[in-house]
Amino acid sequence: MKILVLLSQVPDTTARIAFTNGNTQFDANGVTFIVNPYDEWYALVRALELKEAAGAGSVTTITVGGADTEATIRKGLAIGADEAVRVDAQPTEALQVAEQVAAYAKDKGFDLIIAGKETIDHNGGQVGGMVAELLDLPYIALASKLDVAAGKATIERDVPGGVEVLEASLPLVLSAAKGMAEQRIPNMRGIMAARTKPLTVVPAAATDNVAATTSFELPPAKGAVKMIPAEDAGKLIELLHSEAKVI
Amino acid sequence: MSTIVFIDTRGDKIPKAAQEAVTYASKLAGGPVTAVTFGGAAGLESLGAQGAAKVIVARGVTAVDGQQLTKLVLDIASKEGANTIVCVQDGTGKAVAPRLAAKLKAGHVAGALGLPDGDKFKRNVFSGKAQAWLQVTSANKVISLMPNSIPVGKDGGSATVEEYSGDLGPARISVKEVRKAGAGIPLPEAEIVVSAGRGMKGPENWAGIEELATLLGGATACSRPVADMHWRPHHEHVGQTGVAIRPNCYIAIGISGAIQHLAGVNQSKVIAVINKDPEAPFFKAADYGIVGDAFEIIPKLIEAAKKLNAER
């Protein structure tokens, strides 16, 4: 089984969110960057588990980004990916990233391509579906469970009010949500091995230029919380009705 | 320039998010639009009220097969000469909208929060901690509307309903089973959500949460530890890794308000927090707060909700 995992670099989940250059750029000053948690905890770890269960195959990660993403990419190798690819382009928006990934993946014969359900910075959840369309493959978004047997994948996904169990033949593109696997902490052997595993830099392909984020805004500061004494708790319901007018 | 809207109406009634998307599309177009849907829903004529002149339904498609649905929407977009396609930013929309965008070389707005300012659309980024303006410069546009972003229109008439008869090719994804997790309002649709966390001490203590939610006409939700310990089903888990919701009213009981939980609920219009720890970080994000024991406060809330219901 040959698996490709999409790996993005994002600011740490607890990073201070601020902008610079007239609110046109994320302020990376003092921010730690990590592997997007959905890519790392769910997509990559499940890919490794499937490879281990099959006793054969390979797991490749692909990242669209500059040389500054290589430390993050090595983390994926330390967790257990066999090799990593970096497409040498600054990511600008979803279709551009998807076109870079599709350009790399199209002749490689991957059985599974797995992305995280979204990145925690842009929250679009678009790249997996776009890659699937560009490669003419089926795509299942928000998979919380994935099993593969005899060339067929069985997938569970949470839907409003329940769980849907789906079946599709490989090759297939998926986006991974919580439940698919448990986070793996790289051990010392993995970290040492990651230093010598192949990290191939491929040149950027030509892509379409269809959209761009032009500016950012921070939400207005929240007003002070109105405290209600515990013995008078029922007043909350009255206030939500008569003052906030939401119930 | 013409606009069509793609919605999922497979359930018993037309989801609010679908009505919002039709409303949005007709506002964007400045007039009636064509809506595209699939499955067996009845009463599609009523989408006229939201601005649909015509609803085209592919009855034969019942599963979310992104390739079939993409083919369906592209076929109708081409017949209608549409260059703008509105979708919903939900599970179905996420399976179809990115495919449409890739096929049409269109800029895709994943989660538009309202009508655009020229060619710029506002959307949430950094898990709701900031917003961004995305400028779409392509001739074709795909816009996925964030649920609960605009009021549902009510002014139109009745839509004509046509059955789609084209060939969508074989389905490559099949539904083996759907495990329903009880009745009630689906969480992303709920305008009022009563949510509880580890402070409830055990799954046997949820009766009060459920009663309060029912009295208020809302849905129940929970924090991540509660879902991880299997006190509540996973689809009720709201937060960074669970469902992101934006109800009008979010009542959090016994949830401390870790940053990962806030990421899934910080778009709620009004947040009320009940916690025995006055230092709980959730109070900083709240509009209303009560410090105290949940087991003493919940009965008081239930009593007040009953009184409110009796009065209205």
For chain A, first and last CA: distance in Å? 53
From B98, B217, B269, residue closest to A130, measured CB to CB = B98
Q: Using pLDDT thresholds of 50, 70 and 90, give the confidence band for residue B182.
A: low
Mean pLDDT of B236-247: 90
Report the residue of A225, A232, A235, A242 to disrupt the B interface, i.e. the one with the largest count of B CBs within 10 Å.
A225
What's the CATH class of domain B3-163? alpha beta
Q: Which residues from chain B sit within 8 angstroms of residue A237, using beta carbons?
A: 301, 304-305, 307-308
DSSP conformation letters of B11-60: SSS--HHHHHHHHHHHHHHTS-EEEEEES--S-GGGGGGGTEEEEEEETT
Per-residue confidence (pLDDT) for residue B183, from 0 to 100: 64
Give the lowest-confidence range in A163-172, A203-212, B172-181, B192-201: B172-181
pTM score, whole prediction: 0.92
Assess whether pLDDT exceeds 80 at residue B206.
Answer: yes
Q: Please, are residues A33 and A9 in contact by the beta-carbon 8 Å criterion?
A: yes
Residue A67 has pLDDT above 70, yes or no: yes
The whole-angstrom separation of Cα A68 and Cα A33 is: 10
How close does chain A come to B4, measured CA to CA in Å? 20
Question: What stretch(es) of chain B map to CATH 3.40.50.620?
Answer: 3-163
Q: What is the pLDDT of residue B1?
A: 60
Whether B64 has a pLDDT exceeding 90, the answer reads no
Contact criterion met (CB < 8 Å) for A219 and B249: no
Q: Do B290 and A227 touch (CB under 8 A)?
A: yes
CB B35 within 8 A of CB B22: yes
Are the C-beta atoms of B47 and B55 separated by less than 8 Å? yes
Residue A238 to chain B, least CA–CA distance (Å):
7
| C-alpha count within 13 angstroms, C-beta hemisphere, residue B238 | 30
User: CA-CA distance, A14 to B262, in Å (whole number)?
Assistant: 12
Q: What residues in B contact A113, CB-CB < 8 Å?
A: none
Task: Write out chain B residues lying below 8 Å of A224, CB-based.
Answer: none
Contact state of B272 with A240 under an 8 Å Cβ cutoff:
yes
| Confidence check: pLDDT of A7 > 80 | yes
Write out pLDDT tens, residues A135-161. Answer: 999 999 999 999 999 999 999 998 877
In chain A, residues with a C-beta closer than 8 Å to the C-beta of B303 are: 234
Question: Which chain B residues are within 8 Å of A98, Cβ to Cβ?
Answer: 98, 102
List the structure tokens of A240: 């939500």
Domain with CATH 3.40.50.1220 in chain B: 187-311
- How does pLDDT run across B69-113, given as a tens digit for each residue? 999 999 999 999 999 999 999 999 999 999 999 999 999 999 999
Instruction: Give me A189's structure tokens.
Output: 């052997």
- Specify whether the CB–CB gap between B77 and B6 falls below 8 A: no
pLDDT above 70 covers what percent of chain B? 98
Whether the pLDDT of residue B57 is over 90: the answer is: yes
**pLDDT score recorded for residue B234:** 86
Give the distance from residue A196's alpha carbon to the nearest chain B alpha carbon, in angstroms.
33
Direct distance between the N- and C-terminal alpha carbons of chain B, in angstroms, rounded to an integer: 46
Structural class in CATH, domain A2-214: alpha beta
pLDDT tens-digit readout, A215-242: 999 988 778 899 999 999 999 999 999 9
**pLDDT (average), residues A17-40:** 96
Report the C-alpha gap between A89 and A209 in whole angstroms.
13
Per-residue pLDDT, averaged over A70-80, amounts to 97
Cβ-nearest to A158 among B138, B235, B305: B235
ipTM above 0.85, yes or no: yes
**What span, in angstroms and rounded, lies between the C-alpha atoms of B197 and B217?**
20
Residues from chain A contacting residue B138 (CB–CB below 8 Å): 208, 210-211
Q: Do B235 and A159 touch (CB under 8 A)?
A: yes
- CATH fold of B187-311: Rossmann fold (3.40.50)
Q: How confident is the model at residue A132 (pLDDT cuts 50, 70, 90)?
A: very high
Asked if A119 contacts A38 with a C-beta cutoff of 8 angstroms, the reply is: yes
